[in-house]
């Protein structure tokens, strides 16, 4: 019989599970990209697998609410982790013999599984923590996930060099299996018990939650669109400014960002659900990323990236806490819609940025994309003022 943990211990266990799976996920992003390029031998194959993963993530956000009603949050999280663990085990065993079809199946499962898991984790927080603790708890999730991202990126090259892609995929599978085991041992009273009834369309959902939240989700999608530019441009920029030390440059870049994201958790609870904090955070984050690509000296770059990470963490905490104020079935549907919108923003940003980077300067691409995010954030501020 499973021991029932106290609420703080339950949430700590969830944070641990999410962090470990995030570590494996970002280790996998590096390993799977390199493995795909080695198997297909072309940028076309790499782009196809990435497109499949993003499309599956988009679809995962759409179907997550229906799956929650069928299985419940906890069972869906466990099922998602186990599916991802299974597909990574298969890839570790099959290796290059999996070919492009195996890579496509892997991308489908990982994209959909990651999207569904994110929806479930975000929606489950209000059921796991005391009332009024959402923002502080979201801060813990953001902090440890940021550290897991850095650890995953930083360890990828070492793990691949030591044991090849098979070891990297095995570690990733183990991270998902660990997460599934931990979540399976948790028990809590879900405010969203499994029921069998259909969801209404997105338009009716947005009417139910109100125009302020609808615009908030739109700004988040624009933020993801802008983020695609710096994620895609960073390797190009690092190679240009650091040459053979590009990997060191990228590690320092993201490590500084992680420091900022870590500190955000200590401030964000004061601004929980504040639209003004979300708008300011989005603008500062975008401006910081643009400044980072102007080629500042290391001390200035570190400071700028700490600001970017702090603003990124702040906006994530405020945004998630605001959506968690929505109750019952609407909350899961809203997080499903949010996941779909964010994935669509990042996917479209990736496509457009990849088309522009060969002909335009990196700084111009990053500045243009983040200008979109800033304009949308300022539009949110105007809409919010009219609604109050």
- pLDDT score of 191: 56
Distance CA 260, CA 305 (A): 7
The alpha helices in the chain, defined as continuous H runs, are: 7-40, 43-71, 73-94, 99-128, 134-184, 202-209, 211-242, 246-264, 275-292, 298-323, 329-356, 362-387
Predicted confidence (pLDDT) per residue in 143-156, tens digit: 888 888 888 877 88
Tokens of 29: 């992003």
In this predicted model, which residue has the larger pLDDT, 152 or 206?
A: 152
How sure is the predictor about 200, in pLDDT bands with cuts at 50, 70 and 90? low
Two domains, one topology: 7-184 and 202-387: yes
Distance CA 289, CA 382 (A): 24
Distance CA 335, CA 164 (A): 37
Predicted confidence (pLDDT) per residue in 331-379, tens digit: 888 888 888 999 899 888 888 888 898 899 999 999 999 999 999 889 8
Tokens of 100: 């492009």
Distance CA 360, CA 171 (A): 38
- pLDDT score of 182: 93
DSSP state, residue 185 = T
Q: Are the beta carbons of 309 and 257 closer than 8 angstroms?
A: yes
Distance CA 369, CA 230 (A): 9
In this predicted model, which residue has the larger pLDDT, 207 or 367?
A: 367
202-387: CATH, from 3.40.50.2300, 3.90.1150.10, 3.40.190.10, 1.20.1250.20: 1.20.1250.20
Interacting residues of 284 by C-beta distance below 8 A, sequence separation 6+: 307, 308, 311
How sure is the predictor about 39, in pLDDT bands with cuts at 50, 70 and 90? confident
Q: Under CATH, what is the fold of the domain 7-184?
A: Growth Hormone; Chain: A; (1.20.1250)
- pLDDT score of 250: 78
Distance from the first to the final alpha carbon of the chain: 51
The burial of 309, by beta-carbon neighbours within 10 Å (0-12 exposed, 13-18 middle, 19 or more buried), is given as buried
- pLDDT score of 91: 93
Query: Treating both helix axes as pointing N-terminal to C-terminal, what angle do 134-184 and 99-128 enclose, rounded to 10 degrees?
Result: 120
Distance CA 41, CA 39 (A): 6
Indicate the domain borders of the chain: 7-184, 202-387
- pLDDT score of 193: 47
Distance CA 174, CA 315 (A): 31
Predicted confidence (pLDDT) per residue in 73-85, tens digit: 889 999 999 999 9
In this predicted model, which residue has the larger pLDDT, 226 or 142?
A: 226
How sure is the predictor about 17, in pLDDT bands with cuts at 50, 70 and 90? very high
Shortest CA distance to 93 belongs to which of 85, 5, 320?
85
In this predicted model, which residue has the larger pLDDT, 169 or 187?
A: 169
The helix/strand/coil state of 196 is coil
How sure is the predictor about 176, in pLDDT bands with cuts at 50, 70 and 90? very high
Q: Are the beta carbons of 31 and 169 closer than 8 angstroms?
A: yes
- pLDDT score of 198: 45
Tokens of 134: 């959402």
| CA distances from residue 192 to 70, 71, 181, 227, 356 in whole angstroms, order as listed | 10, 10, 22, 32, 44
| CA distances from residue 195 to 67, 198, 328 in whole angstroms, order as listed | 10, 9, 12
196, pLDDT greater than 50: no
């Amino acid at each position: 019989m499973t021991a029932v943990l106290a609420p703080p211990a339950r949430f700590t266990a969830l944070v641990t599970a999410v962090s470990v799976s995030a570590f494996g996920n970002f280790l996998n992003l590096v390993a799977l990209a390199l493995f795909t390029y080695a198997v297909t031998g072309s940028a076309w194959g790499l782009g196809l697998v990435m497109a499949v993963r993003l499309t599956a993530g988009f679809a995962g956000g759409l179907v997550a609410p229906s799956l929650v009603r069928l299985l419940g949050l906890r069972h869906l999280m466990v099922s998602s982790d186990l599916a991802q663990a299974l597909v990574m085990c298969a890839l570790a065993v099959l290796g290059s013999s999996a070919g492009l079809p195996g890579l496509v199946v892997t991308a489908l499962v990982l994209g959909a599984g990651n999207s569904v898991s994110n929806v479930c984790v975000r929606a489950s927080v209000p059921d796991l923590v005391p009332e009024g603790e959402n923002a502080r708890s979201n801060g813990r999730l953001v902090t440890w996930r940021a550290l897991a991202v850095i650890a995953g990126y930083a360890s990828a090259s070492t793990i691949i060099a030591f044991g090849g892609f098979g070891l990297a995929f095995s570690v990733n599978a183990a991270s998902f299996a660990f997460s599934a085991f931990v979540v399976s041992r948790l028990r809590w009273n879900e405010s969203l018990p499994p029921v069998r009834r259909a969801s209404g369309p997105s338009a009716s959902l947005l009417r139910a939650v109100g125009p302020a939240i609808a615009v908030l989700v739109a700004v988040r999608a624009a933020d993801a669109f802008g983020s695609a530019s710096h994620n895609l441009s960073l390797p190009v920029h690092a190679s240009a400014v650091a040459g053979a030390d590009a990997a060191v440059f990228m590690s320092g870049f993201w490590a500084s960002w992680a420091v900022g994201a870590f500190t955000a958790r200590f401030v964000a609870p004061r601004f929980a659900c504040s639209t003004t904090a979300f708008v300011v955070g989005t603008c500062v984050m975008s401006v910081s990323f643009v400044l980072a690509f102007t080629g500042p000296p290391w001390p200035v770059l570190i400071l700028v990236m700490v600001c970017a990470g702090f603003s990124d963490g702040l906006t994530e905490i405020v945004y998630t806490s605001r959506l968690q104020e929505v109750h019952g079935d609407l909350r899961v549907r809203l997080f499903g819609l949010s996941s779909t919108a964010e994935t669509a923003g990042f996917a479209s940003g990736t496509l457009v940025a990849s088309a522009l980077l060969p002909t335009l300067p990196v700084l111009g691409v990053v500045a243009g994309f983040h200008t979109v995010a800033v304009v949308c954030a300022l539009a949110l501020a105007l809409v919010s003022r009219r609604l109050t």
